[in-house]
Amino acid sequence: MTLPPGACDTHTHVFDARFPAGASPYALPAADLATHAAMRERLGTTRAVLVQPAPYGRDPACLLDALARGEGRLRGVMIADETVADATLQAWHEAGIRALRFVEMQGPGGGGRYPGSIGFDSLRLLAPRLRALGWQAHLWASASQLSELLPDLLPLGVPLVLDHLGMPDGPHDPAFDALLPHLRDGGIWVKLTLCRVKRGGAPIAALRPLHDALVAANPDRLLWGSDWPYVRMDPPPDVRAMLDLCLDWLGDAALIRRILVDNPQHLFGFD
């Protein structure tokens, strides 16, 4: 299927060997901006959102370089805690960053929060400055964590964007159901990114009830994201197959345009 003009992949990453990375729980992939652009051309996604990868930590150099060369087609999601300067946030805004990411997911093998991430406590402290900039908070946490924490985060008045379907623990997680009222009320946004959701060996089609429940709850608060280039996944999924699956499940041209074009254009401020 040919995507409508302005279609956006809202969860991607760029890695560039020109920029030094810190300790990483995975081998850095070959995924520089040129490779990213070729992937977008293959999909027909003329816009994309770049999320700061863990190996770069708090160093925005790689992300800012990609945004500068993105010809207005890219937006960024960075990480920072409450010590970040206002001038830094303003410079990032002018460069195309529109959100900060906060994480409560456990790292590979346990032992605490995912390496290099910043937790939800910093979101509470940063909320007034995010509101002033018109930024969002992207949240990577399990559905059970989110179901407990969202009632305290929603009053902050910052748009909350949940990564990876809200990270349910499989296709039948009751904590996922607890997220749906917040979506219906328009309090949260959710990325339709399937690849990180646990399936217990079941085919990916087992996740369709979760996908359909989100669409039924509030399509005006949904986004599509690939999570390309699929770090820590062996073998990685095919990005075109992931997009085609979403398009097939949505099935309606108007709905596809809303989720892949209109919603991200509104949220990320694409011209």
Q: What is the DSSP string of 55-111?
A: GGTT--HHHHHHHHTSTT-EEEEE---TTS-HHHHHHHHHHTEEEEEEE-PBPTTSS
Give the pLDDT confidence score for residue 25 in this predicted structure.
74
| Catalytic positions, written as ranges | 227
pLDDT of the residue at 93: 98
Which pLDDT score, from 0 to 100, does residue 110 have?
Answer: 67
Beta partners for residue 89, in sequence order? none
The position carrying tokens 């694409």 is 270
Token pair in block for residue 24: 């990483």
DSSP secondary structure letter of residue 191: E
Rounded to an integer, what is the distance from CA 198 to the centroid of its chain? 17
Alpha-carbon span 148 to 144, nearest angstrom: 7
How far apart are alpha carbons 25 and 34 in whole angstroms?
A: 24
Whether the CB-CB separation of 216 and 180 falls below 8 Å is answered with no
Closest CA to 224 of 245, 254, 203, 209: 245
Distance CA 30, CA 199 (A): 27
Tell me the C-alpha distance between 158 and 138, whole Å. 10
Amino acid 113: pLDDT = 75
**Mean pLDDT for each 10-residue chunk of the chain (271 residues)?**
94 96 84 98 98 95 98 98 98 98 82 80 98 98 97 98 96 96 98 92 93 98 98 92 97 97 97 79
Pair of tokens at residue 228: 């390309």
Predicted local confidence at residue 49, as pLDDT: 98
pLDDT attached to residue 114: 72
Please give the C-alpha separations between residue 40 and each of 46, 50, 89, 133, in angstroms, as whole numbers. Answer: 6, 12, 28, 28
Q: What is the DSSP string of 136-188?
A: EEEEE--HHHHHHHHHHHGGG---EEESGGG--SSTT-HHHHHHHHHHHTTSE
Check residue 174 and give its pLDDT.
96
